[in-house]
Amino acid sequence: MKAKNFIFLVFISIISINNSIADEVNTIYSLSLDVLGVDVKVAVIKSKLNIKNEKYQFSFTLEPEKLISFISPITGNGNVYGEIDNSILTPINYDYTYIKKNKIKNTKIKFNNSNVIKSSTTPSFDKDKLSPIHTDALNNVIDPITGIIYIGDYILNNGCTITYKIYDGKRRYNLDYTDKFYKNGFTICRLSQKKIGGFKLKNQQNTTFEPAYEIDTYFKKENDRYILKKIISKGRFSNILIDVFYD
């Protein structure tokens, strides 16, 4: 699994605004890779969500487990700052850095009214090798971390019914809910990805409208609130399991 795909799946570890009472919430996420029925711990995410004066800031660090650190070490940190108005999140600044095998990659995005006004990635990448992103596709979008906040909040995502238009500095894609069902006391919401642009051209042939992966979010109803408990991200050969622990 390539680092960029692993990192996105890692980011589907989520904090809920409506489930929080304090202005600051700390959360820990434990990630495991399920290969042929065997769970292998791969990483821990420690996050902090601050909400104050109709502003939000979400920051996190990604730390690999010892085995993964020895085989293919990946660390990361990021944050997003934005505004909240009538339960609508509008990002202003997004900043994400990850390090793999001593190579550092950083992405910064600036928004104005949910439109991308500036985006930079260091080191840069060759856009000619990627499917094009048209200018209007960068309007009315959010960053991946803001998308994460929505996905983990049953009220903000209107009971798992909205579409997420996401730009991560390189790729533009939508996340759509394709199913919602109940199993073993959980409300499970299923998401699939639709590629819009910024993906490798060789991967676009005959797969433009096919989901790259499938994500199931598990909510448990406690005291009339739907609390995110876990996520299962299904890949071709393995699944990523994420258990969510609230501090």
pLDDT in tens, 22-36: 477 788 878 887 777
The answer, yes or no, to whether residue 108 has pLDDT greater than 80, is: yes
Over range 99-114, report the average pLDDT: 92
What per-residue confidence (pLDDT) applies to 68?
A: 58
Q: Is the peptide bond before 123 cis (omega within 30 degrees of 0)?
A: yes
Other Cβ atoms less than 10 A from the Cβ of 221: the count is 12
Over range 153-173, report the average pLDDT: 94
Amino acid at 28: I
Phi, psi of 193 (to 5 degrees): -100, 140
What per-residue confidence (pLDDT) applies to 214?
A: 84
Segments of the chain assigned E as strands: 24-35, 38-52, 55-64, 74-85, 88-100, 103-112, 115-122, 164-167, 172-183, 186-197, 214-222, 225-234, 239-246
70 vs 167, which has greater pLDDT? 167
- Residue 174: which domain range? 3-246
Structural domains in the chain (count): 1
Read off the DSSP letter of residue 68.
Answer: H
pLDDT in tens, 65-85: 765 554 566 789 999 999 998
Of 228, 215, 159, nearest in space to 14 by CA: 228
Q: Which residues contact 87 (CB under 8 A, 6 or more apart)?
A: 155, 156
